[in-house]
Amino acid sequence: MEVDAEAARFAREPLHEVARNLAATARGDSPATLIVRDGTLVSVTSGEILPRMSVAIRGSRIAYIGPDANHAIGPETRVIEAEGRYIAPGFLDGHCHIESSQLTVTQFVRAVLPLGTTGGFFDAHEITNVLGLRGLRLMVDEARTTPLAAYMQIASCVPSTSTNLETPGAEIGPEEVAEALSWGDDVIALGEVMNFPGVVFGDGKMHGEISAALRAGKVADGHFCWPPNDRRLAAYYAASGITGCHEGTTAEDTVWRLRHGMYAKLRRGSAWHDVAATVKAHTEMGLDPRRILLVTDDRSPESLVDEGHMDFVVRHAIEEGVSPIVAFQMATLNAAERFGVSQDVGSVTPGRCGDIILLEGDLADVNVTLTIAAGEVVAEDGHMAADLPGFTYPDFSFDSVKLDGSMDESAFDVPAPVASGRVRARAVRVVENHAETKAEVVELQVEDGLVKLDSAGDVCKISVTERHGKSGETTAGFLMGLGFTEPCALATTVAHDSHNLMVMGNSEALMARAAREVIGARGGVAVVREGGVTLLPLPVAGLMSTEPYEEVAEKSRAVGHALAEAGYGLNYAFMTLSLLALVVLPELHVSDKGLVEVGETGFGLTGVLLED
């Protein structure tokens, strides 16, 4: 990977430049810079647990593994006594959106390195939807200043569908994909192709982006939600060049992906709990796990603190019946092989980068006590042991919320075709621990030509306002499943994937106030109740905070606590709510253009009110 001078100490030297030096260290003719001595090696390449093993590292790469590395010790070699602890490759997240943690790359790295994550494959489509290639470039440049083996994917769906259905801050097409692929070897793949109907029905833009990636020798990741028995998947999607997908929710989804030559990415995010069901394709049906990956997709900052990152997902997979060695393979070697970088990461073997974790106790406990990245000890006993350089974000990244802050209650009006009476309206229902929603129909009162909320029912309003300076248009509709027991509203500029201003609540006055709070903070999340405001400012592209991850986690926790006190008690509540504008997911979502449903022929706008 390319690095700048500021991060030279974390540089990962190309193997062809140092292979001769590594051989010299393996022979004992040139000393190692770091040795981990007398541990129990988790060999993900052979599927064995090997006792009494040592590892010698020279620079950023592994030179030798074996029962005795004393021949590689020199006067300045640092020796770490493993004392029987497990020696394993650092974890790789096979699919992750860093921006969903509401952290900058540097703070994300500070959070996950002590947990044993030493690399990953990151789809920065959140910031790309707001700032375009400039945003993606910021993520790439910042990642290069850290010890993390951060492989970036190019956002494929900006917007996630089309500008007829939603308004992003930028647009990405085949030319932009080709440009980004020229930035370096750490720009690794085309990100998840969410417009799966576009792929199935031959959309030129989508297939142009896939072709650009394949032409450059890169892989393309997928995202599709039709059931596995839908012939359109087998007949069209699998032939498109897309070879991985993380949207499976059943064992049958996993089976279909594996049988069609794809990598099945089993997801355990903060709010998406899919591993328990999807992993049964291996644990109960006996399918080969070599093309199964464990991924997080989206993790909130407080879930990183409270539960963990890939260590948590690996532990969870083991609890669901996966053997420890296979679970480690799913979170290391399998991911490296999927993206074609197993010569650099994914195993503790000679020639690979020195990305190693030490674990105490039972391997199934996944208790990481020390992390080595790029041949340097970066974390120990749950804390960072290496200082990371700062990264300065440019002014334009703080100027993405292009609204004047004058929003009032009228922004949430839903006009009715009659002056009074009752109408039937489509409503979005939230589903706990799932990314998809349910479409429902609710009957509501009309007064003075406007549809009113039923204060006795579980119905809120939800709106999306374009905030990128293009139209300022607002769509308002109805939402169910929040369970508020008091007047409450939430506003956020984290509204996947176009990240416009999304507001929801059971009081139009509080909704307007929440919107103004977020606009004034230059982006973020605000919960407003009659007792006050809980605010999480996210000024970088309206998505990320510049504060330390510990502080962001506490402010994010406060948002969840405020929602819970108002009656909304779903698990990691905000993470689920942030997807209510993600129009590529079933069944019904909201954009600045209107309600969008996923049907037999793909995505389409539908009215808020039903015609009699």
2: confidence class by pLDDT, cuts 50, 70, 90:
very low
Contact status, residue 40 vs residue 88, Cβ threshold 8 Å: no
Residue 279, CA atoms < 13 Å, CB-side half-sphere: 24
* Contact status, residue 151 vs residue 191, Cβ threshold 8 Å: no
Which amino acid is residue 127, in one-letter code? I
Burial of 576 (0-12, 13-18, 19+ CB in 10 A): buried
- Res 225: pLDDT: 77
| pLDDT > 80? residue 3 | no
Q: Which residue is it, tokens 């010569």?
A: 343
Phi and psi, residue 514, nearest 5°: -60, -40
pLDDT in tens, 564-576: 999 998 878 898 8
| Cα-based distances in Å from 150 to 263, 288, 341, 349 | 20, 28, 12, 20
For 211, residues 6+ apart whose C-beta sits below 8 A from its C-beta are 174, 241
Q: Is the pLDDT of residue 19 over 50?
A: yes
Q: Is 260 exposed, middle or buried (0-12, 13-18, 19+ CB in 10 A)?
A: middle
- Collapsing DSSP to helix, strand or coil, 529 comes out as strand
**Which of 324, 224, 236 has the alpha carbon at shortest distance from 264?**
224
What pLDDT shows up at residue 549?
A: 98
Q: Which amino acid is at 144?
A: R
Residue 275 φ then ψ, to 5°: -60, -45
pLDDT band at 235 (very low <50, low <70, confident <90, very high): low
User: pLDDT value at position 571?
Assistant: 79
Render 170-182 in DSSP notation, one character per residue: ----HHHHHHHTT
For the cut 80, the answer to whether the pLDDT of residue 599 exceeds it is no
Sheet containing 474-480: which strands, arranged edge to edge? 450-451, 438-447, 421-429, 474-480, 459-465, 501-505, 488-492, 524-529, 532-537
- Residue 602: the pLDDT is 77
Maximum C-alpha span of the chain? 90
Torsion region of 365: left, alpha or beta (phi above 0 gives left; psi -120 to 50 gives alpha): alpha
Closest residue by Cα to residue 285 from 266, 267, 263, 258: 258
Residues 432-469: pLDDT tens digits? 877 789 999 999 999 999 999 986 778 999 999 999 99
Q: What is the per-residue pLDDT for 214?
A: 97
- Over residues 260-276, the mean pLDDT reads 93
CATH number of 88-392: 3.20.20.140
Matching residue, tokens 């506490």:
554
Which residues sit opposite 104 in a β-bridge? none
Q: How far apart are CA 450 and CA 126, in angstroms?
A: 35
Query: What integer is the mean pLDDT of 513-541?
Result: 98
Mean pLDDT, range 141-156, rounded to an integer: 97
- Given a cut of 50, whether residue 489 has pLDDT beyond it is yes
CA distance 266 to 599: 25
Cα gap 71→68, rounded to integer Å: 8
The DSSP 8-state label assigned to residue 609 in this structure reads: B
**Domain residue ranges of the chain, discontinuous segments joined by +:** 88-392, 397-606
Determine how many CB atoms are found less than 10 A away from the CB of residue 230.
15
Q: What pLDDT score was predicted for residue 591?
A: 98
The reported pLDDT for the residue numbered 434 is 76
Across residues 34-57, what is the average pLDDT?
98
Backbone angles phi, psi at 589, to 5 degrees: -140, 175
pLDDT digits (tens, 9 = 90+) for 169-185: 999 999 999 999 999 99
The answer to whether the CB of 106 falls within 8 A of the CB of 142 is yes
Model confidence over 74-95: pLDDT tens digits?
A: 999 999 999 999 999 999 999 9
pLDDT for 340 equals 97
Q: Containing H/E element for 26?
A: helix 15-27
Whether pLDDT at 7 is above 60: no
Residue 458 burial by CB count (10 A; 0-12/13-18/19+): exposed, middle or buried?
middle
Predicted confidence (pLDDT) per residue in 392-441, tens digit: 999 999 999 999 988 999 999 999 999 999 999 999 999 887 778 999 99
d(CA 311, CA 93): 10
